Amino acid sequence: MKETPILAKINSPADLRRIPEKEIRTLAGEIREYLIDTVTKTGGHLASNLGVVELTLALHRVFDTPNDRIIFDVGHQSYVHKLLTGRRDRFDTLRTPGGLSGFTRREESEYDPFGAGHSSTSVSAALGFARADRLQGRDNFTVAVIGDGAFTGGMVHEALNNCGKDLKLVIVLNENEMSISRNIGAFARHLAKIRTSKRYRRAKRDTQSFLRHVPLIGKGIYHAVRGIKKGFKNLLYSSNYFEELGLYYIGPVDGNDYGTVERALIAAKEQGEPAIVHVRTVKGKGYPPAENDPRSYHSVHPGDAPERTFSRAFGEWLAKEGERDPKIVAVTAAMGVSTGLEPFAERFPERYTDVGIAEEHALTYSAGLAAGGLSPYVTVYSTFLQRAYDNLLHDVALQGLPVRVIIDRAGLAKSDGPTHHGIFDVAFLSHIPGIRLFAPITFGSLFAVLEAVKNHPGPVAVRYPNCGEDPAVVSAFYPDGNYGAPFVRSDGERDPAAVIVTYGGLVREALKAKEALRAKGVAVSVVLLEELKPYDETALALSRLIPPGVPIVFAEEGIFDGGASMILSERLSEILSPVPSQKILAIRDEFASPDAPCDLLARLGLDAASISCAVLSLFDH
């Protein structure tokens, strides 16, 4: 790693504020070198962080953090913020269980006032902080930093509509990908430069003060002049969405020019009312590969990513199926690339919809498509599906509409942590009437499930983890390549002393546990569930694979309460006689968020060793 002498001196924003401004450009270069060297090894969000270096430096120099608060939307662009706030010595633990989070986290630092991970929450949270300060007589500033992509989330606009004039709130809109504002060229840039100048701000304050203090007619003149000014500006500049909401607007300004950003933030700070600072930054700034292809460098992997994932396999299947069936449409909420929809989007652009960061809308929109006679497939991360629970329950399931919900990133997200763990979807989907729920864990069974349900008249959910196919799983459950129903399968062990029942990616640990137990002279069978709901049918199929009286260990990479293991254990107790001893390994009433480096599966009692111990414990009773 290259030397970073200026960065090495910064252990807090107070140190940053002592750095002469003439050294800021050099410091920005050091930070970029540090990010490139570190993140390409640990994995993480690179392009977005390279783009916000100058902006983050200016934020911490203009505002008095941590007394003033900076809230990063999503938080994936907070790496520079972490480096400047005393976390540089732990940066090599980034995105590891118990290490530095890839997002902001309250437990991690006093400089992280609000945890993130999901999008479009920052303005609402910042508004809450600002109102809390106002009501309690505090004089802090609260700053929300939000990207243009997050502005597609409706929650942002609900919050903007709720802003009051009396709040010390600054919203930084970082435009780095899409053009939100109309491109108005040199005049807009000139106007932004005027509005951020000290002379302009001083003249504005003096004029306002003078007019307001003229006896009897001063206030009337002030409001008249302000109205004329606004009308003239709108005539030349076009009406501004933010100012129509009563927010003071500054921008657009060059977000990669430190001096320009600093002046804009100072101007916003001096307004005495909520302000929007609109900056434009370049994703991947300073690293040509990321500048030229910011999409590929949005999130980089440490080098062990599989060549073919379930996302990619699904996308390939959907594109081929789209050729056969013109009624198939694909819907995603800003995750088209990540969920494998690129082939479909390229082939059928008119049948592909990316609704932006609006999962609720994606589900209800898909309900409308289905009611209109089409066959919608909605791709969504497990953790983001939580946002659309109401829409799935009322708009899809209640009406029995044939929407296929393809749930990506199911299971523990070891790199991204608790905000991204896909451990709740099985529990909350399990109590929705009429929905069918599948968990294929081989490519062949994924295709078989998709074929089996493509004409199903009601809602279907298909979940899979962010990984590739494991040959050991294929050989254990599909040795003859015979995919398709039944989707509840045993590995064929004869006369087992115990049975391990599991689903999803955790089947790999179950198979390892089986081998470990075999070495100890204990024969067990592993039953793989690739269909979960309807649970009555699954429990009946499962009961046929369990010899009388043989104890059962359920292993579930999901929450215990309301999970598949809890439900199936209850059903089997009603079916089997005698009722066998049963033990459930699942995540118990927590968000799976360790506070020290660890093997996450071992910490949760879900690794092969824990499964083996659970099996052996059943023989001790």
Q: What residues are annotated to the active site?
A: 283, 359, 387
Rounded Cα distance between 82 and 181, Å, is 30
Rounded Cα distance between 236 and 243, Å, is 15
Rounded Cα distance between 262 and 57, Å, is 9
Q: Using an 8 Å Cβ cutoff, are 249 and 165 in contact?
A: no
Rounded Cα distance between 95 and 103, Å, is 9
DSSP character for 437? E
Task: State residue 331 phi and psi, 5-degree precision.
Answer: -130, 135
Token digits of residue 350: 């008119």
Q: Using an 8 Å Cβ cutoff, are 572 and 542 in contact?
A: yes
Q: What is the dihedral of CA 609, 610, 612, 613, to 10 degrees?
A: 120
Rounded Cα distance between 460 and 434, Å, is 9
Q: Using an 8 Å Cβ cutoff, are 327 and 402 in contact?
A: no
The single-letter code of the amino acid at 261 is V
Neighbour order of strands in the sheet with 69-72: 69-72, 142-147, 169-175, 275-280, 248-254
Q: Using an 8 Å Cβ cutoff, are 238 and 35 in contact?
A: no
What is the distance of C-alpha 436 from the center of its chain? 25
Q: Which long-range contacts (CB under 8 A, 24 or more apart) does 362-366 make?
A: 362/331, 362/332, 362/333, 362/388, 363/388, 363/391, 363/392, 363/395, 363/396, 363/403, 363/405, 364/391, 364/395, 364/396, 365/331, 366/331, 366/396, 366/403
**Secondary structure, 3-state, 367-429:** HHHHHCCCEEEEEEEHHHHHHHHHHHHHHHHCCCCCCEEEEECCECCCCCCCCCCECCHHHHH
Q: What angle do CA 11, 14, 15 make, to 5 degrees?
A: 50
In 3-state terms the chain splits into helix, strand, coil percentages (rounded to 5) of 45, 15, 40
Rounded Cα distance between 83 and 111, Å, is 11
- Could you count the other beta carbons within 10 Å of the beta carbon of residue 79? 29
